[in-house]
A = this chain, B = another copy of it.
Amino acid sequence: MSALERLVSVEPADIERRSFEIIGRELGDRVLDPENEPVIKRCIHTAADFDYADNLAFSPHATAIGAAALGRGASIVTDTSMAASGVNKRVLGRFGGEVLNFIADPQVAAEARERGLTRSAVSMEFAARLSRPFVFAIGNAPTALVSLYELIEAGRMVRPHLIVGVPVGFVNVVESKELIMELDVPYIVARGRKGGSNVAAAICNALLYIASGGERQ
């Protein structure tokens, strides 16, 4: 049988439902925390990686807190344009929220150069200046998480609704995530090296679908 013949005939709208069925089946007897299950499954779905069944850490009721904030119109701040582009803006906008991302702001680049910091770190200070609580979705830069930690500890940032801390990589990534878990702020963190802008967006989308009453898993 050729590869062409082995393709399953499936309606576009059914692809996601079937994918979640397969994920559920392959998780087998494994019991996920029911409160956080939609977030965990959506991360597995977005990376085809079952490591997310083990590496996600949630502060108490983080999923419910994040979904409630987005449902009340909270906006999301991301560290990359890639994470921003992965968030479902249609659903977010329905609640009144928007995605903010300052990484391409020439002012951010200028300040980062002057102070020898990453643009990601400086972009968190720009978010702090807005003096509003946000959901932060950090999928790339450990320096963004360190910047958030310092801003919050110094009382220079309104306490966020939630920090989604899922940078990916090999340098300071593990440590920056542990740092965020020390704050008294709700968090969803992918412990270890894994994560990414795609995972950050997937977690936001899982929260948005919960806020929408779960018409998507």
Q: Which A residues fall within an 8 A CB radius of B?
A: 2-4, 6-8, 10-12, 15, 18-19, 22-23, 45-49, 80-82, 84-86, 112, 116-118, 142-143, 146, 149, 168-173, 175-176, 178-179, 182, 192-198, 201
Contacts and interface: CB of A to CB of B under 8 A. Distances in A.
A194 B82 contact: no
A45, A118, A171, A201 — which one has the most chain B CB atoms within 10 A of its CB? Answer: A171
* Tally of this chain's copies: 2
Given A3-B176, A10-B172, A47-B194, 6 more contacts: A3-B175, A3-B179, A8-B171, A12-B118, A22-B171, A48-B169
A48 B85 contact: no
Interface of A, helix, strand, loop or mixed by DSSP: helix
Contacts of A11: 116
Contacts of A149: 4
9 contacts: A2-B182, A7-B142, A7-B175, A8-B175, A15-B169, A45-B169, A45-B170, A49-B49, A82-B86
Contacts of A170: 18-19, 22-23, 45, 48
A3 B178 contact: yes
A153 to B, nearest CB: 9
Contacts of A117: 12
Nearest to A9: B172
Given A7-B176, A143-B12, A170-B23, A49 B18 contact: no
A160 to B, nearest CB: 18
A84 B7 CA distance: 27
